[in-house]
Amino acid sequence: MSLNQAVAASLAQPVKPEIVAAARQVCARLGGDAVLFYGSNLRRDDLEGLVDFYVLHRRPARGLAALIWPDVGYHEIGLGAVTVRAKVAVMSLAQFRRAARGESIDTTVWARFCQPARLLVANDLAMAAAVTQAVADAIATAARFALALGPGQGPAQAWWRALFRQTYRAELRVEPPARSDAILSADPAHFATMLPLAWASQGILLSGSGAAWQPEVPQGQRRRWQRAWRLRRALGKPLNALRLVKAAFTFEGAARYALWKIERHSGLRLALTPWRERHPILAAPGVLLRLWQARRA
């Protein structure tokens, strides 16, 4: 089996019909051409919390989205008695493909999509093929950096664990070491299958077995990948800080998302007034005051 064949089979695995229906609605709202589903709700296979969607479109990115991507928003999709809540990232297919191939300093796309994902919407066969190739590229990129950062010899999980611990350090998120273990244990077969296929797709020779893979590359090549990683590690936090600043002013559905999070974590339900929806940053002090008063009561 080739890497692309394994990726196509993984992307086609079924998920809950409510998730598929929500993805279709979000895709239509945003004028997308494909939707990928990934993240913790995929691992848990439930409808609680937020589902994570990436909406990809063929049209060229314009304005700020061409420089700092993705655009991020919060969407609620009513499906009868069920409400699906989604955090949605939007970017062009061209941007996604470039990031997946490791051609930018970004680490977030390939670090996320080397993990299990599902292709829920593709407007045509060409789009499905392009997204499948991009996800395969993401896994190949991740495998290269795992080789550069990993133990030299070991089972697939050891290589992936070393990679994820480094990619978390390149972002603003603070994640405990157990986070990577939770990701790996949710679908160990995925990671055990994809790593040797990804190395083989790049002509990297392997010795040993699944219990102790030992990829063979010239030391000069490994050092080049390590230098490439050091650049991404140095620039990762500033890049993600820029994305947070952008999101503070452009996050679609920010007020609705914040009020849902407050209710979920504190039990305090606050009304989504027109003022709060139009001006989430200006409304934040009043919301925080209400939360503080509720906790003191």
Is the same domain home to 197 and 278?
A: no
The backbone torsions φ and ψ at residue 209, rounded to the nearest 5 degrees and listed phi first, read: -145, -175
Residue 285 has pLDDT above 90, yes or no: no
pLDDT in tens, 65-77: 888 899 989 999 9
Quote the pTM value: 0.86
At 48 the pLDDT is: 83
Alpha carbon distance 85, 108 (integer Å): 22
Is the same domain home to 145 and 273?
A: no
Is the same domain home to 135 and 194?
A: yes
Range of the domain at 296: 253-297
Q: How many domains does the chain have?
A: 2
pLDDT in tens, 133-150: 999 999 999 999 999 999
Strand ranges in 30-178 using DSSP code E only, listed in sequence order: 34-38, 50-57, 71-79, 82-92, 117-122
How would residue 244 be classed by pLDDT, with cut points 50, 70 and 90? confident
Encoded tokens for 87: 């955090």
Alpha carbon distance 39, 54 (integer Å): 11
First to last CA, the chain: 61
Is the same domain home to 212 and 84?
A: yes
Residue 260 has pLDDT above 60, yes or no: no
Is the same domain home to 275 and 174?
A: no
Encoded tokens for 130: 């392009």
The position carrying tokens 């070393």 is 162
Is the same domain home to 270 and 164?
A: no
Alpha carbon distance 204, 251 (integer Å): 42
The backbone torsions φ and ψ at residue 79, rounded to the nearest 5 degrees and listed phi first, read: -130, 80
Angle separating helix axes 125-149 and 219-250, nearest 10 degrees: 120
How would residue 279 be classed by pLDDT, with cut points 50, 70 and 90? very low
Alpha carbon distance 197, 9 (integer Å): 14
